[in-house]
Amino acid sequence: MLKQRTLKTAFLYAVLFLVALYFIAPLYVMLVASFKTLTEIRNSSIIALPSEWTLDAWKKAWDGACTGMECTGIKPYFIATFEIAVPSVILAILFGSLNGYVMAKWRTKAADFLFAALLIGSFIPLQLFLIPLAITLRELDIFGTTVGLILIHTVYGIPLTTMLFRNYYVNIPDELVKAAIMDGAGFFKIFFNIILPLSPSILMVSVILVFAGVYNDFLFALTFGETGKKPIMAAVQNIVSSSYGVKEYNLNIAAVMISALPTLLLFLVAGRFFVRGLTQGAVKG
């Protein structure tokens, strides 16, 4: 019996190792290629380590690559992405947490209907929103601006954060809120002084999901992004890596690797809070 269990465990770990290898292999190939010269990329195996490590592709991708007619690298677009992502994450989490608190502690048919409508709306394909969004932004006179993109990502992130916080706050005892009301605390005082301090894990989950969604956005960035200040994903797509008719693959790969670093680091640093926050909000609701 013990031997059979050992064999099953060994088989399970072997399968997990192969699956992990399958997903890590493309990242490894891109990483080593970004440190190779163009000549070595052409002449060596894609899995071989560089014979001569160089950061030239990374340096050029950061501040020398051409995106359209401008050869400023991806640095300005990298900064522009954070100018959009940070306010969008803060606003989406703020409004989503307030919505979740209301829907979890003031349960009515209207609240349940609104919650269902929010969830249904979040699953509608993004392409269907383009024309209404374009009209709305035009009427607000913020079409093609950073403010317009912040508004779009905030609105689109609210259904997700509402769902996360609502399911999480359902598990907080109602007696805690009732006791605060009896002590004379108002709505916002209860929320900011009692409820929000109990929410670090779900806050981290929301930050990871909303930031990843905003940072990796391509459709809205390409359609509504400000000219010359588009988010990073739209800029990476438009890199012109041609030098005298030669395609610089290492330059494109380095640009992609740089653009992927923030979300990768965020998951590595805060990943342990991710599962904890999801499971704490999955008991009931």
Both ends of the chain: CA-CA distance in Å?
41
Query: Are 48 and 166 found together in one domain?
Result: no
Q: Phi and psi of 242, rounded to 5°?
A: -115, 120
pLDDT digits 0-9 by tens, 13-70: 999 999 999 989 988 999 999 999 888 888 888 888 888 889 989 998 898 888 767 7
Query: Are 111 and 220 found together in one domain?
Result: yes
pLDDT digits 0-9 by tens, 224-269: 887 767 788 888 877 765 555 567 888 888 988 998 889 888 888 8
Query: Are 128 and 206 found together in one domain?
Result: yes
Query: Are 48 and 173 found together in one domain?
Result: no
The answer to whether residue 253 sits within a structural domain is no
Domain containing 9 equals: 1-54
Who's near 60: CB < 8 A, 6+ residues apart?
73, 251, 254
pTM: 0.82
Total domain count for the chain?
2
Q: How many CA atoms lie within 13 A of 17 on its CB side?
A: 6
Query: Are 217 and 171 found together in one domain?
Result: yes
Query: Are 34 and 146 found together in one domain?
Result: no
Query: Are 140 and 103 found together in one domain?
Result: yes
Query: Are 114 and 195 found together in one domain?
Result: yes
The contacts found for 30-38 with CB under 8 angstroms, 24 or more apart, are 30/253, 30/256, 30/257, 31/257, 33/249, 33/250, 33/253, 34/58, 34/250, 34/253, 34/254, 34/257, 36/250, 37/250, 38/246, 38/248, 38/249, 38/250
The answer to whether residue 179 sits within a structural domain is yes
DSSP 8-class letter at 70: B
